[in-house]
Amino acid sequence: MNKLVIKNGRIVDPTQNLDRVADLAIADGLIAETAENIDATGSNVFDASGMIVAPGFIDMHVHLREPGFEHAETIETGSRAAAAGGFTSICCMPNTQPVNDNATVTSYIVDRARRFAKVNVYPIGAITKNSSGEELAAIASMKQAGIVAISDDGRPVMNARIVRQAMEFATALDLPLIEHCEDLDLSAGGDMHEGLESTRLGLRGIPRSSEDVMVARDIILAEVTGVRYHVAHISSKYSVEMVAFAKKRGLKVTSEATPHHFALADSDMRRYDSNYKMKPPLRASEDVNAVTCGLLTGVIDAIATDHAPHPGAEKMQEFERCPFGILGLETAIGLALERLYHPGKMCLKNLVRLFTQGPARVLSFDKGTLRPGSVADVTVFGLDHEWTYDVNRSLSKSRNSPFHNHQFRGGPVATIVAGEIVWTANS
């Protein structure tokens, strides 16, 4: 039997309302028990003294770029970056080339992940063929091939009739529908949040309303169809209010926020630095506050990175021509600690929940827990060690992060997938 004992860590597991210093025993890839002074004779031992031992973190919004854009990222490199960021499971968005809109592409991703990925990889299928918003993708057969949700992320479904149809399909198949909320007519040509800062920099704005009108439309349709509806990368204060309203109404509506949307505002943008260019854009400080508040109150269910690798050449063009998106996997825990935990806004249990039980519930995953008998996906992280993020040493293939040289207090220490240590901070 293959045994691992994680000694003396502070075990934080919201699913068991657990927060205490103890040992965690893993046997044959499953959680065996949590107890004090577990006899580790004949086992491998990981000393977690002074560290947090949590259920494996889940990032439900990642772009792995394979197939089609392997110069930016592959399933292998993206999963390595995930492991280095403390994530044991990631969901990959379908905007590859070809788009993951049929079972052949889904099976390809599942197969590549099985052979090359360091962490669990779950594909998300497209809502429409080629994500072009016109005709539904082969959703049922993709589900059989292993997708866990549908989304046209990167693009919204602009046609309300199509999105309603998709919601009806998703409801029948019990799949969550994840929307990239952006009215393209309102955002057309924009490079950053529309406001004082965009005027000051002379850049074209993306108004908050481009997000809000689509969240509103979708919530109305979610009520009509009964779908499990999830707002990707929520960034606007009004959208947060609308999700709160939908939840109060008892709808199956959930949302996620990225670390950059609670850590940065449009005023933090360095002049024409494309590492601050993403969709939705960095918004005004009142939006940052609303997103933070949504995380604290449970209106927002999950922290997801929207890890979006782009090779240097693409991000080096003039600002207006640069693609949207930044890396996120390796800096997520550090940013959550910096913005939510260290200032005393959020307790550790709630922070862990946003990376584990929260996304697991959205996706109906049997994960995000350290209950005995569950698969031993474990994230070990520290609260106080100081480290500097050097993007040039990133395990991602790309380098587009605004957090290069950022000093962090606390971050990932070890990542364990099905009982196997796949990454440690010293490796």
- Altogether, the residues listed in the chain come to a count of 427
Token pair for 346: 């959020």
Q: Segment 166-185, which members bind Zn ion (CB under 5 A)?
A: 180
Token pair for 45: 């031992």
Note the Cα 187 to chain centre separation in Å: 23
49 in Cβ contact with 376 (< 8 Å): no
The DSSP code for 123 is E
Nearest to 295 by CA among 253, 334, 259, 328: 259
Rounded Cα distance between 254 and 231, Å, is 6
Number of residues counted as binding Zn ion (CB under 5 A): 2
Minimum Å gap between C-beta 153 and Zn ion is 4
Cis peptide preceding 343, ω within 30 of 0: no
Nearest to 109 by CA among 120, 372, 335, 357: 120
Residue spans of alpha helices (H) in 337-407: 348-355, 357-363
| Binds Zn ion by CB under 5 A, chosen from 59, 73, 153, 314 | 153
Minimum Å gap between C-beta 396 and Zn ion is 18
**Residue 63 lies near Zn ion (rule: CB under 5 A):** no
Task: Output the CA torsion 240→243→247→249 (10° steps).
Answer: 120
Single out the catalytic residue among 153, 191, 218, 306. Answer: 306
Token pair for 246: 């939908």
Rounded Cα distance between 332 and 337, Å, is 9
Minimum Å gap between C-beta 62 and Zn ion is 11
Minimum Å gap between C-beta 183 and Zn ion is 13
Span between the terminal Cα atoms of the chain, in Å: 25
Closest CB to Zn ion among residues 180, 367: 180
Q: What SS3 class is residue 206?
A: strand
Minimum Å gap between C-beta 406 and Zn ion is 23
Q: Segment 72-91, which members bind Zn ion (CB under 5 A)?
A: none
111 is catalytic: no
Which residue of the chain is nearest Zn ion when measured via CB? Answer: 180
Minimum Å gap between C-beta 127 and Zn ion is 13
Q: Segment 306-345, which members bind Zn ion (CB under 5 A)?
A: none
**Footprint on this chain of Zn ion (rule: CB under 5 A):** 153, 180
Active site residues: 306
